[in-house]
Amino acid sequence: MSTAPAIELKGISKAFGPVQANKDISIRVMPGTIHGIIGENGAGKSTLMSILYGFYKADKGDIYISGEKVSIPDSQAAIAAGIGMVFQHFKLVENFTVLENVILGAEDGALLAPSLRKARKDLAALAAEYELNVNPDALIQDIGVGMQQRVEILKALYRHADILILDEPTGVLTPAEADQLFRILHRLKDEGKTIILITHKLREIMEATDTVSVMRRGEMTATVKTSETSPEHLAELMVGRKVLLRVDKEPAKPGALVLEVENLRVVDAAGVERVKGISLEVRAGEILGIAGVAGNGQSELLEVLGGMENGTGSIRVNGEELDLTGKHSDARSRRKRGIAHVPEDRQREGLIMDFKAWENTAFGYDDDDAYQSGLLMNNVAIREDAEGKIERFDVRPANCDLEAKSFSGGNQQKIVLAREIERDPDLLLVGQPTRGVDIGAIEFIHQQIVALRDKGKAILLVSVELEEILSLSDRIAVIFDGHLMGERLPAETDEKELGLMMAGMTGEDT
Amino acid sequence: MDYLTILQILDSALRLATPLLFACLAGLFSERAGIFDIGLEGKMLMAAFFSAATAYSTGSVWLGLLAGIAGSLVLSGIHGLASITFRGNQLISGVAINFLASGLTVLIGLSWFKLGGQTPALQGDARFQGLDLPFAEALSGVPVFGPLYSEVLSGHTILVYVALLCVPLTWYVLFRTRFGLRLRAVGENPAAVDTAGISVVGLRYAAVAICGVLCGLAGAYLATGLGASFVKEMTAGRGYIALAALIFAKWRPWYALYATFLFGLLEAISNRYPSLDLGFVTLPSQFMQALPYILTVVILAGFVGKATPPRAGGEPYVKER
């Protein structure tokens, strides 16, 4: 090929203390292509891109942009070199307008008015060119995440970026929004922009990219043409062993009613009604999956069931009414009723990050008789118990004296799951079981959830990952704006239909 | 209560509001940039001492003003170093500065002037004198408006007018300039500023420095405009009242003017009526003097509706990745 690569990295290495985040990485990204970088959490993808965007300085190695060797000591140099970055967590000022966010750092002079005028014109031109329409005067806090992401892309384009890096761009988007994003990316590619897409979702790589590089443990293990590979092959390259991408499970054998929710309503601290009259049932031996875009009331639903929030309506477990507002509406009372809860945010609600793993395996059940020895805690018993859990749930490293924060996301989740599942609950509430969890660990966690179902337990699964909902659930309910939009059987629906329901369109319309 | 009395109270309120206004705007710049500053009090005190000491020694109030600002800036630098460069706790740094100022001013005062921590009384050019606004004399005869102009608005020291001018100026800088946009952004989401290629540290130091200059003006006004010497602990909690006014004002310049004027008014009323006879009950002088502080507590307890502070306030910025 005669043209120089848009970006070429040669021998990039970066260590944080004893951890080698990037080991001798070389990569060539050709102009006018979409290049995917895939790898598990902690594989070093983000570190590599942060080096490219001037957040970190590489210990070793060189960066070439369009054939020219450059040094990128800070973000300003990266912007000057034509690199734009859309971070996973948007870097927007919430109470500024779109326009103000776009010009921030790229103003033309000391006074704002001329810059704002020019930006308004430029944004209109960009919107026409790339179909990136946004209202320039809207406040960021008032627009949806899909729009916010467009603002991030516009920010980069306004700074004349030729190379656009997107870090896990679809994590917060509905399937429809994601499709729209990919259309925009293809449009950008057609106009000659180079795009680097960082993701851990195999589907996106297969759909959107021309070339894909796989990273594992800080190393670049392969770069292949997307058309010449398969999801199974990529997963194997990422994890280093064969991975089962589909969950293997027998058909459910639903038994007695375990959970009955009737006309549940939840009002949050700000006085906004988040759950608007939900009714649902879960039987023993089945998994009910709740699909929906984050922020549509599913978190509040879980919190009420788990005893972390008050609500009105009626919830029965094994035929007995739960206290929704009184003094038996707390999490401990719920646990006593046989409800175990794996919360959505494991780092804030599932674990105490500064406490050791063995201490974390007892939280919530610390008043259990087995853990007492007279007035004191029987730490020996708790530790023995913890060691068993860690072994059975394959927590790595298998050291129960480590603090929770020193485990990876997947292993933290295994600690929470071990604690809740081994209590043998009648009803398990699971929120986002595999958020930020590696492919290898996802497989294990899914197997554990299915195994609990096969023991005849009821499971309520809340997830924003449609693939997860589709492969784990025996029935799927879609939540939108605090209402259930309807129920589907996994075999009789697909991502497209569910995606429309998640966006508020009823199944009948489709 | 006749019209003249009301005018006199308003006149006094304006004077008493001035140091609060300076300090409030100082806090506004700092907190809008994400640096909480509980050390407004200490900076004012330091500025009050050094302005009075220098004005007395040199006989020039302008040199005193510069020395006051310099003293305040040194403390600002310490706060910046602790909370921006070393990412320390901003409250602790602020409290330390208050203690430092409270002790240091008396200690140096004792050693230099041997007057029990005070500075000698300032006279003539060592003090800011009142300025008569144009036509004050001529307009005083005009009914209603005339006395308002000549009694309330005219006759203050230059610093009062500077403080009033600072309000539109602050508004303009914050909302109409590039610097203001970046300053507000760094207080809301420093990561956005950082990824845009602008120095978070630089912006925050700039904000803290502006805060230092404004606190310097506030302190200098206390000792050389409102008063005529430095007196031990003469700020008397004004730094904290300014913080309360800042919350009251929801971190906006014009509201800051109204909030500080309200505090100034309360102080003026309590000065005018040491004990207030309401007919059925007589409010004791202790209550009257405590009025501004009571209002402070009420405001801080959140009785004024929801005030959303800058989102990144109080948190040192650490690059995420």
Local confidence pLDDT in tens for the 510 residues of chain A = 458 899 999 999 998 877 788 999 999 999 999 999 998 777 888 889 989 998 888 999 999 999 999 999 988 999 999 999 998 889 999 999 999 999 999 999 999 999 999 999 999 999 888 888 899 999 999 888 889 999 999 999 999 999 999 998 887 787 788 888 999 999 999 999 999 999 888 888 998 999 999 998 888 988 999 999 988 888 888 888 777 777 888 899 999 999 999 999 999 887 889 999 999 999 999 999 999 988 899 999 999 999 998 999 999 999 999 999 888 889 999 999 999 999 998 888 999 999 999 999 998 888 888 899 888 989 999 999 999 999 999 888 888 898 998 888 888 999 999 999 999 999 999 999 988 787 778 889 999 999 999 999 999 999 988 889 999 999 999 999 999 999 999 999 988 889 889 888 865 544
Helical packing angle, B178-188 and B200-221, nearest 10°: 100
Closest-approach residue (CA) in chain B for A115 = B178
**How many CB contacts within 8 angstroms connect chain A with chain B?**
76
pLDDT at position A37, please?
94
- Quick one: A38 exposed, middle or buried, by C-beta within 10 A (0-12, 13-18, 19+)? buried
Q: Name the residue among B175, B198, B321 with its Cβ closest to that of A105.
A: B198
A414 domain residue, yes or no:
no
**Does one domain contain both A192 and A339?**
no
When divided into structural domains, chain A yields a total of 2
Residues of chain B numbered 177-216 and touching chain A (CB < 8 Å): 177-182, 184-185, 188-189, 191-198
- Measured in angstroms, the CA of B197 and the nearest CA of chain A are apart by 4
Residue A473's pLDDT is 95
Nearest to A91 among B176, B179, B192 (CB): B192
Same domain, A228 and A105: yes
Token readout for A47 is 């570190």
A84 interaction partners in chain B (CB closer than 8 Å): none
A270 shares a domain with A169: no
Does residue A485 share a domain with residue A432?
yes
Q: Do both A321 and A187 map to the same domain?
A: no
Residues of B whose CB is below 8 A from A55? 319, 321
B114 and chain A in contact, CB less than 8 A:
no
In a domain, A13, yes or no: yes
**pTM of the predicted protein model:** 0.79
Residue A264 lies in a domain: yes
Asked if A179 and A263 sit in the same domain, the reply is: no
Which of B173, B175, B181, B186 would best serve as a mutation to test chain A binding (most A beta carbons within 10 A)?
B181
Cβ neighbours of A3 (radius 10 Å): 10
Do the chains contact at A104 and B191, CB–CB below 8 Å? no
CB-based contact (8 Å) between A103 and chain B?
yes
Residue in chain B closest to A57 (alpha carbons) equals: B321
Do A288 and A232 belong together in one domain? no
Domain range for A297 is 257-350+425-509
Assess if residue A288 is contained within a domain.
yes
Which candidate, A299, A390, A296, places its Cα nearest to that of A349?
A: A299
Residue written as token pair 């030729």: A162
Residue of chain A whose alpha carbon sits nearest to that of B181 = A104
Taking chain B (321 residues) in consecutive chunks of 10 residues, what is each chunk's mean pLDDT? 87 95 97 96 97 95 96 97 94 96 95 90 90 82 82 90 97 96 96 92 97 97 94 93 91 95 92 82 84 81 75 84 46
Same domain, A168 and A206: yes
pLDDT at B71: 97
Give the end of a domain, one of A239, A265, A285. Answer: A239
Are A435 and A334 members of one domain? yes
Contact present, A181 and A173 (Cβ < 8 Å): yes
* Among chain A residues, CA nearest to B185: A93
Shortest alpha-carbon distance between residue A19 and chain B (Å): 14
Tokens 């430095």 -> residue: B230
Give yes or no: residues A136 and A86 share one domain: yes
- The predicted complex's ipTM stands at 0.88
Question: B-chain residues within 8 Å CB-CB of A19?
Answer: none
Mark whether A231 and A310 lie in a shared domain: no
- The CATH code of the domain that includes A50 is 3.40.50.300
Tokens 């990273």 belong to residue: A215
**Cα A214 to chain centroid, rounded:** 19
A375 vs B: CB within 8 A: no
pLDDT of residue A510: 40
In A44-140, the DSSP E strands lie at 60-65, 68-70, 83-86
Strand order in the sheet with A483-488: A339-342, A427-431, A458-463, A287-291, A475-480, A483-488
Verify that A160 and A303 share a domain, yes or no.
no
Gap from B311 CA to chain A (nearest CA, Å): 9
Q: Any CB–CB contact under 8 A between A87 and chain B?
A: yes
